[in-house]
């Protein structure tokens, strides 16, 4: 009987997920329901011990305007420029509050359109003649209306003013792209998640800073071993420390293409803090570095 009740509650939650009722639930209530559904266990914040629990605590209790700036894929450029300089930034071709203002004829042949307040909402164009602009324009309008705060209550996104930005296309010629996501705690990088992107394939693993493989498992295939440090690796660690200073946790991403480093983004809530880490002990391992503000 109790199992049936739980199943009915989960089904009801799915049905109401986009509704006014669920949208207006208090953040703590919403996250408790979501955590139970995603993680299969109760959210324990008294006190939080694991990484995923502490990310939920961060959403509820750690809210500063600088997080809004750093979550904004346009405004964070100024943060990076002030802290390090402009050399890490990708070329910027335009910033738009309305899709109707975009003139793709003003862009180079290859470019990327993305939403400043989104995740994975990108349009990659290698050749303008092959771009379905009517479809892309409607997609961008849809993206602009989305507020990612409501899905996972990620506070950093709540007050970001939606914009479309156009940047350079780093892999327009089929280059291999490496993304280094440094998990930083109070300005100290502890582990790095390395993603390799080649046409049609993504590979990923997590390592300590000596590039010893850690036990966290992914659904994507692993990187081929051995993994060597790129020439810029130590510099990326230094940059990650500078950008993450003052934050109890943030993942700082850098992109490496053709032996050049680019700033990627800053993420306070990787996967919403709602990924079932495998093995479960890895949740505690990542959480062990995470010292919450008192």
Helix axes 51-61, 27-39, angle to 10 degrees: 160
pLDDT in tens, 213-264: 999 999 999 999 899 899 999 999 999 999 999 999 999 999 999 989 999 9
Taking CA atoms, 1 is separated from 81, 119, 130, 142, in Å, by 58, 40, 56, 42
The helix/strand/coil state of 60 is helix
Given this model, what pLDDT does residue 131 score?
Answer: 96
Domain ranges for the chain: 2-61, 91-167, 174-288
pLDDT at 134 over 90: yes
CA 112-127-95 angle, to 5 degrees, is 30
**131 CA to centre of own chain:** 26
Instruction: Considering only CA atoms, give the Rg of the chain.
Output: 20
Residues comprising the chain, all counted: 294
Contact indicator for 254, 264 with CB cutoff of 8 Å = yes
Q: Check: CB of residue 153 under 8 Å from CB of residue 164.
A: no
Q: What is the mean pLDDT of residues 126-142?
A: 96
Q: DSSP assignment, residue 124?
A: E
Q: Smallest Cα–Cα separation from 226: which of 249, 181, 194? A: 194
Q: What is the pLDDT of residue 20?
A: 63
Q: Is the dihedral of CA 272, 273, 279, 282 positive or negative?
A: positive
252 near 270, Cβ under 8 Å?
Answer: no
Label the pairing between strands 92-96 and 164-167. antiparallel
Position 8 pLDDT exceeds 80: no
What's the pLDDT at 22? 75
Taking domain 174-288, whether its CATH number is 3.40.190 is answered by no
Say whether pLDDT at 16 is over 90.
no
Is the model's pLDDT at 96 over the cut of 80?
yes
* pLDDT exceeds 60 at position 12: no
Q: Does pLDDT of 169 surpass 90?
A: yes
The C-alpha atoms of residue 120 and residue 164 are separated, in whole angstroms, by 13
The pTM of the full predicted model, rounded to 2 decimals, is: 0.91
- Judge whether 168 and 112 are in contact, CB under 8 Å: yes
């Amino acid at each position: 009987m109790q199992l049936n009740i739980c199943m009915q509650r989960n089904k009801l939650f799915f049905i109401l997920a986009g509704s006014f009722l669920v949208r207006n639930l208090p953040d703590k209530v919403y996250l408790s329901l979501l955590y139970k559904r995603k993680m299969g266990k109760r959210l324990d914040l008294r006190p939080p011990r694991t990484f995923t629990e502490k990310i939920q605590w961060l959403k509820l209790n750690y809210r500063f305007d600088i997080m809004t700036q750093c979550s904004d894929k346009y405004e964070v450029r100024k943060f990076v420029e002030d802290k390090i300089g402009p050399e890490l930034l990708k070329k910027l071709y335009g910033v738009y509050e309305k899709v109707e203002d975009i003139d793709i004829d003003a862009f180079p042949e290859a470019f990327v359109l993305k939403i400043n307040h989104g995740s994975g909402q990108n349009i990659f164009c290698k050749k303008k003649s092959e771009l379905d602009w009517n479809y892309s324009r409607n997609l961008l309008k849809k993206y602009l209306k989305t507020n990612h705060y409501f899905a996972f209550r990620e506070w950093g996104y709540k007050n970001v003013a939606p914009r479309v930005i156009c940047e350079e296309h780093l892999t327009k010629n089929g280059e291999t792209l490496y993304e280094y996501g440094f998990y930083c705690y109070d300005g100290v990088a502890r582990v790095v998640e390395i993603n390799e992107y080649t046409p049609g394939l993504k590979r990923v693993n997590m390592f300590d800073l000596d590039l010893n493989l850690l036990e966290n498992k992914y659904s994507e295939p692993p990187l081929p071993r051995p993994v060597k440090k790129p020439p810029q690796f130590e510099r990326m660690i230094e940059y990650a420390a500078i950008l993450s200073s003052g934050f109890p946790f943030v993942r700082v991403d850098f992109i490496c293409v053709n032996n050049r480093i680019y700033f990627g983004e800053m993420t306070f809530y990787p996967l919403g803090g709602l990924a079932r880490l495998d093995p479960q002990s890895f949740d505690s391992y990542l959480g062990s570095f995470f010292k919450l503000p008192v």
